[in-house]
A = this chain, B = another copy of it.
Amino acid sequence: MTYCVAIKTDSGLVFASDSLTNAGIDQVNTYSKMHTFVLPGSRMFVLLAAGNLATTQAVVKRIRDDCNFNAPVNLNNVTSLTQAVDYVGSLSSDVQRAQAARDTASTNFEATFIFGGQIAGQLPEIYLVYPQGNHIHESGVHPFLQIGETKYGKPILDRVIRSDTPLEQAARCALVSINSTIRSNLTVGPPVELLIYSADALDGGRRLLLSDDHPYYRALGDAWNEGLRQALNNLPPFEWENQPQPLQVVATGKQGQMQG
């Protein structure tokens, strides 16, 4: 499994992904799930990938080949993010269909992507590309998208992420979201990749590779644990905790009768 998240704020984009892949429980490996395509000063795109690894690798290879061999439509010449994400969705469908045509075992070749970035003169955008090749953009109220094992890390994003969240704050929130997922689910694992893109920079952004023992990643995990403990300690006490405790009173009720 996989967990990837992208956030769009007023000041830029954040992309984060784990790196664990597995086929069954005893075939585990580490692959980057974050792929960047940058034409400095002109355009930058980021692709986060979840699902069948052969499918996602083939899609990434096709994107790079189309650029290198100057295909009629490629990420170097698309004129909008919409055209770019349509192109990625089509590639994904094509690859899945080609793999299914050779299948003999009802294999699941599906892949899901987050695709985002910016073209010069246009606004930054992020999209979620379904296995069917179609796509959605982020919600205005909750401006983030997730793929893979999305549930563990969703509550913190739901509570915190807004359009006006500062970019570095959003990035730390993404790291916490992934860190929580890794702690709670064996199939999502380090290293964590993080890319922070400032709107209109049209560069590759700041990219961090955070292994388990990376000083910043450890400091972040420790600080979050401590912050959660404090948050829990600051929750309001139940009303009986404010009062002197009475002696233990045996609850009344007719002996021999079950009470609902």
Contacts and interface: CB of A to CB of B under 8 A. Distances in A.
Nearest to A60: B260
A40 B253 contact: yes
A90 interface: no
Given A227-B235, A231-B230, A36 B219 contact: no
A42 B223 CA distance: 45
A235 B169 CA distance: 9
Contact of A219 (B168, B202, B230, B236): B236
Copies in the complex: 2
Given A152-B151, A206-B240, A230-B231, A258 B39 contact: yes
Contacts of A256: 39, 76
Contacts of A229: 160
Interface in A106-136: none
A203 interface: yes
A245 B185 CA distance: 38
B228 A234 contact: no
Contacts of A168: 237-238, 241
Max chain B C-beta neighbours (<10 A), residue from A158, A248, A258: A258
B160 A228 contact: yes
Nearest to A41: B250
Contacts of A235: 172, 176, 220, 223-224, 227
B160 A183 contact: no
A183 to B, nearest CB: 6
Given A228-B231, A231-B230, A250-B203, A183 B169 contact: no
A11 interface: no
A97 interface: no
B255 A40 contact: yes
25 contacts: A35-B260, A36-B259, A37-B259, A38-B253, A39-B255, A41-B251, A42-B255, A67-B258, A151-B152, A152-B154, A155-B184, A156-B228, A160-B229, A169-B232, A176-B232, A201-B251, A203-B251, A206-B240, A220-B236, A223-B234, A226-B234, A227-B232, A227-B235, A230-B230, A230-B231
The 7 tightest CB contacts between A and B, nearest first, are A227-B231, A203-B251, A151-B151, A155-B180, A40-B253, A67-B258, A40-B251
Given A155-B183, A169-B233, A230-B230, 11 more contacts: A37-B260, A38-B251, A64-B260, A76-B256, A151-B151, A168-B237, A173-B232, A201-B248, A202-B251, A226-B231, A231-B231
